[in-house]
Structure 1
Amino acid sequence: MQWILAVPFLYDEGGDWITHHVGAPHRFTTAPAPYAHDRSRAATGASEWSDYLRHAWQAWRLVRAAPRGRVGIMTGFPQLAVAAALVKLVLGRRDVPLVAWCFNLGRTPGGWKARLARLVLRQVDVFVVHSRREIALYADWLDLPRDRFAFVPLSIHDEPRETHEDEAAPFILAMGSANRDYATLAAAAASLGLPTVIVAGAHAVADLALPPNVTVRSGLGIAECHDLCGRARVNVVPLRNTTFTSGQVTVLEAMMLAKPVVATRAAGTEDYVIEGQNGLLVPPEDPAALAAAIKALWDDPAARARLGAEARRTVAEGTTFRAVAPAMAAVLEAARIRVAGRSAPALRAEPWRGQAG
């Protein structure tokens, strides 16, 4: 089976992603993204939708050149799923399986947008989400059966390296801008009086009264962020909206570097951070609980080492591209069988070793 990839960060066949580790009978051809995937925006405007539609059309042109019954499409991120599903609806190509990988929404709109989404997204055969909570959330919103959705752990490029905590000048680190609750972190940091660094866009901390022990940095590259993460004594991911997923990449990259994380219990964290095993989870908007969790790790180097080692193992065994490849293969096969008119096997991502079921 040949799969056409419409994924914004893939520009050629040589990219190292999950597909690189998925073997026969699946083959992959990339429809290169005709735009730069480096834009951060709260909403998708007309020019961006034009980019996604052009990208989806390029993918469908490759589909139309392939033999019927032997080709499918896999998209990355919701906008491309919508664009590819719209073309599928217009062309009437129900014979082409469509997989929406990384279907992650920041909100579920109502009104005409919801009605349009239900019409178009029925063309998707399998939605892949990276939080178990999202299955019910999106199935109910789209009025689709839950067996059309599959939870697969979010995967990251594995870059393990030795890290050295800054013992001379220890600090707390929080990174990221999307859905971050830096007000709660600021209150916790004020009560602790410990040096705290926030790496985020200016808008994420706008109008916050930050205590003098909190500094903000922005515009850092990935290598600089990883360096800070490795040197930090405690990494914190405070989240505001706990219904929708966010913060997962920040959590997993810290865990990849064998750093325990203190995170808000939310849809984007509870499938990855296991309380007391590879990190700590705290209730939302609770400065006292956040401060207590930070202080517990700050004062206990043995706990940091134990949780960090388990965090690293969690990533190595469950969230690398290679680790997730079998789940991707199962999703693609289920989509192929579903379109062929047979009963597709139930999709259930088995928890990796050490993960809660």
Structure 2
Amino acid sequence: MHWTVAAPFIHDLKTDGEWLVPHIPGDRHQFSIIPRAHPLANWHNRSSSATDYQEWLTYLQHGKNAIKATEGGVVTVFPQLASAVGIQQRVSRKRIPVVAWLFNVGTCPSGMRRWLAQASLQDIDRFVVHTRRECHIYSQWLNLPKERFEFLPYQVSAIPITHEENTTQPFVAAIGSAHRDFSTLLTAIAQLNLPTIIASGPRALAGLELPACAQAPLGIGKAECLQLAQEACINVVPVVPNERVTAAGQVTIVEAMRMGRAVIASRCNGIEDYIIHGETGLVVEPQSVEGLVQALDLLWNDQELRNRLGHNAMQYAAQHFSDEAAGRALSKILDELEESSH
């Protein structure tokens, strides 16, 4: 069966890669990647998390192109493209199989925005979400059968290890912006006086005063973030618990695990789907200064434990969070939709 793939991070077919397509086994399905007209803006550098009018026009055109080019179905990445394809389906009255991969809306809006989401997404056949809790959350929010939602772990391509842990000037790294609990982290590192580098955006750091042991350079790129994660002796992902938040922190966690780094993360917002406490990382109770202090102190002073957790994390991530694992899972979904369409 033929599928078009619409992913907003694919703008140039020569440089942006082919997403999961090379990792889908067999030759049962054929794929055409539909590029986005304009490059996607960096989320961390945006002044607002909302999608503006001009961006929606780009998404709508992208979705229209994907539907027009397919001879079978469409695979979208990110919720905006799923909505765009859903709208185009209703406008064109062309009912085709659609898979909405990486369907994470951050928080579920109410009122008119909820109505628009329900209207545009009612014909999506399968939503792939990256935490178990999202299956229930989105089913209720969109008033759709829970069977349309499937949990599959977020995947990350293999990341080259180009830097070793900095044992001469050790530090803690905290990378990412979404729903981060930097307030608790700053209190914990101040108690322990641990050198810490926070790589985040201005919105996530607004109103916070950094202790002397911390620094937060703004505007650093992806490559620099990966270098920080590799050189840090501990990667910490503190997240604020919120029932309205669907998921947060998974990208940073999976990247650190793929690089074989010891991770401490908060037990909330679906993070518990990724770390096996004491085996592939440490999970602490959210907003617990005492819990975070204990975990940081333990890992900071035990390199053998850091190495063991990092090694286990890398093996576990290669098995469950790789492009190969995601390609196999997507292949199974496409097989099921092809069979049900006959």
- Same-fold call, TM > 0.5? yes
Correspondent of 1:274 among 269, 273, 276: 276
- Mapped pair 1:293 → 2:295: yes
**1:181–1:240 contact (8 Å) kept in structure 2:** yes
The one-letter code sitting in structure 2 at the alignment partner of 1:172 is V
Please name the residue that 2:322 is paired with. 320
> TM-score under structure 1 normalisation?
0.90
State how far apart, in whole Å, the 2-side matches of 1:26 and 1:195 are.
50
Q: How many residues of Structure 1 are paired with residues of Structure 2 in the alignment?
A: 333
Q: Which residue of 2 aligns with 1:47?
A: 54
| Aligned twin of 1:33 | 36
Give the CA deviation at 1:166.
1.2
3-state SS in 2 of match to 1:9: coil
Are residues 1:265 and 2:267 paired?
yes
Distance 1:163 1:312 in 2: 15
Q: State how far apart, in whole Å, the 1-side matches of 2:149 and 2:202 are.
A: 36
How far apart, in 2, do the equivalents of 1:56 and 1:9 lie? 14
CA drift of 1:176 comes to 1.0
Aligned pairs for 1:66-215 (under 5 A) are 66=71, 71-94=72-95, 96-161=96-161, 163-215=163-215
Unaligned runs of 5+ in 1: 341-357
What is aligned with 1:247? 249
Amino acid at match of 1:80: L
Deviation at 1:190, TM superposition (A): 1.3
**What is the identity, as a one-letter code, of the residue corresponding to 1:42?**
S
Partner of 2:68: 61
| Alpha-carbon distance in structure 2 between the residues aligned to 1:107 and 1:233 | 32
- Structure 1 residue 338 corresponds to structure 2 residue 305: no
2-structure distance, mates of 1:110, 1:335: 30
Q: CA deviation at 1:89?
A: 1.4
Distance 1:203 1:112 in 2: 26
Retained in 1: the 8 A contact 2:132–2:270? no
Moved more, 20-29 or 97-106: 20-29
Q: CA RMSD in A?
A: 1.5
Deviation, 1:13, is 5.4
Secondary structure class of the residue paired with 2:271: coil
Give the superposition deviation at 1:293.
0.8
Give me the identity figure in percent.
39
Alpha-carbon offset, residue 211 of structure 1: 1.2
**Tell me, which stretches of 5 or more residues in structure 2 are unaligned?**
none
Look up the SS of the partner of 2:273 in the other structure.
coil
SS of the residue aligned with 1:217? coil
TM-score by length of 2: 0.93
Which residue matches 1:24?
A: 27
2:41, 2:22 → 1: CA distance? 22
Structure 1 CA distance, aligned partners of 2:299 and 2:93? 56
Q: For each residue in 1:180-205, what CA deviation from the matched residue of structure 2 results, as whole angstroms up to 9, or x when unmatched?
A: 11111011111111111111112221
